[in-house]
Amino acid sequence: MSWAIVDISNFYVSAERLFDPSLHGVPVIVLSNNDGCAIARSEEAKALHVRMGDPVFKMRDRIRRHGIQMRSSNYELYADLNRRFNAVIGEHSGTTEIYSIDESFFRLPVLPSGLGDVATAHQVRADILRQVGLPTRIGLGPTRTLSKVANALAKASEKVWNGVVDLHDEDLRRRLFQVWPVGEVWGIGKALEARLRPLGVRTAAELAALPPATARDVGTVVLERLVRELNGIECDDFQVEPEALKNTAVTRQFGEPVRDLEELRQAMARRAARATEKIRAQDLVATRMIAFVQGSRFHRDPPSQSRSVRLSPPTSDPRAIVGLAGRMVEAMFEPGKVYTKCGVLLEELVPSGKAQTDLFAVEDPRAPALLAAMDGLNARFGRDTLTLASQGFGQQGFDTKRAMKSPSWTTRLSDIPVAR
């Protein structure tokens, strides 16, 4: 058996290019919420040394000089393309695991086809390109970790590998690992890299040679597992059923800084309401809620406060959660401070039917029907058709800026492109 991981090349940029041919062949970046930083770059933009997370205001010059094209992020479009991408993978393998918005694992071999793993991988790439229009790369290996490394190698030397790297062969692994920096290995971040350096571990080969006990000593059991996986020993069980969501968060930077209690309360109410929508969509209720407010971390002495509360009984009712969030804002607000961000976290999510009830709480028997009606209206007529009054009305200065967003080409009737 083997693992495969497919990732979409420069996904957000590739998605924008799919519907706007003028973006081909020129440097393109897609921006974070509030149009703040570059979070996706075309190859041309990478060649101009635009790094992941570079703030736009610091590269105005380069943007003008090289005509770098910018787009606000369009998650409606990306989510829909991701769904199509996974549908194609599903045609090839019954066992797929969605890992992120632009990557999915799947298991090989795919029996009926009779093709080898590498040939199957090429077929999957060709089908995704033809049916969805997105370029991809695939890594293969006996463990998830090895397939991720293979995928990174395919990415690093696109021309050499033609989009597919297979790391089943131990000799090939030995050769490639000797020149693969340890910091590039999936699961090794800055901190672990720094802790491994004194031990003389600088390459993937040296990491793979580390005795498991040493690995656990330097890091945790996670690093020990990583070392085993690098040697081809599987440590992570395959999960057919996706794990249920455990926590969720809705946190946003403000379009304009907020100094006013009422505005802060409204901004928080919008995030809280959105968080409850997310969990209701999966039929979950939350056991714990946290709300926080913050000032800019780039300024001296920014305000930063949070409050948490246990929800008993667990709930997804926006009336309860938005109400609590409002009271928390009142408790946290300090007059004269400048706020740039706030958010709501819902934690310890459980299926709504299985939630522990509270002996002393009085539940509103009409709530399920009310919330179902509310979600139904918003699904049919668009988000925020029906909201709580405490969320305020209309577009506000504190809402996220998205000045350069492309249309929702594939998910809104009004935005569907017209062919002439």
Partner DNA sequence: TCTGGGGTCCTAGGACCC
Give yes or no for a contact between 53 and 37, defined as CB atoms under 8 angstroms apart.
yes
Q: How far is the CB of 193 from DNA (least distance, A)?
A: 6
Q: Which residues, 305 to 344, sit near DNA by CB under 7 A?
A: 308, 310, 340-341, 343
Q: Cβ contacts of residue 360 below 8 Å, gap of 6+?
A: none
| Site residues (CB under 7 A) for DNA, limited to 125-164 | 148
Query: How big is the site for DNA, counted in residues (CB under 7 A)?
Result: 52
In contact, 333 and 261? CB cutoff 8 Å: yes
How far lies 4's CA from each of 14, 146, 148, 151, 417, in Å? 22, 9, 8, 9, 34
- Give the one residue of 298, 393, 414, 419 binding DNA; rule: CB under 7 A: 298
Residue of 283, 398, 380, 300 whose CA lies nearest to 340: 398
Q: With CA atoms as reference, report the closest residue to 55 among 253, 189, 235, 262.
A: 253
Nearest to 279 by CA among 249, 307, 306, 253: 249
Q: In the complex with DNA, which residue's Cβ is closer, 1 or 245?
A: 245
In which residue are the tokens 């020149």 written? 179
Which stretch, 43-51, 172-180, 220-228, 259-267, contacts DNA (CB under 7 A)? 220-228
Distances 219 to 82, 180, 225 between C-alpha atoms, Å: 34, 20, 10
Q: How far is the CB of 9 from DNA (least distance, A)?
A: 12
Is residue 220 within the footprint of DNA (CB under 7 A)? yes
83-91, 122-130, 190-198, 365-373 -> range binding DNA (CB under 7 A):
190-198
Tokens standing for 210? 């580390």
90 near DNA, rule: CB under 7 A:
no
17-76 positions binding DNA, by CB under 7 A? 32-34, 36-37, 39, 52-53, 55, 57-58
Query: Which of 167, 188, 258, 321: binder of DNA (CB under 7 A)?
Result: 188
Q: Which one of residues 64, 190, 380, 420 is an interface residue with DNA (CB under 7 A)?
A: 190
Residues that bind DNA in the complex, under the rule CB under 7 A: 7, 32-34, 36-37, 39, 52-53, 55, 57-58, 99-103, 148, 185-193, 220-222, 243, 245-253, 257, 278, 288, 296, 298-299, 308, 310, 340-341, 343, 400
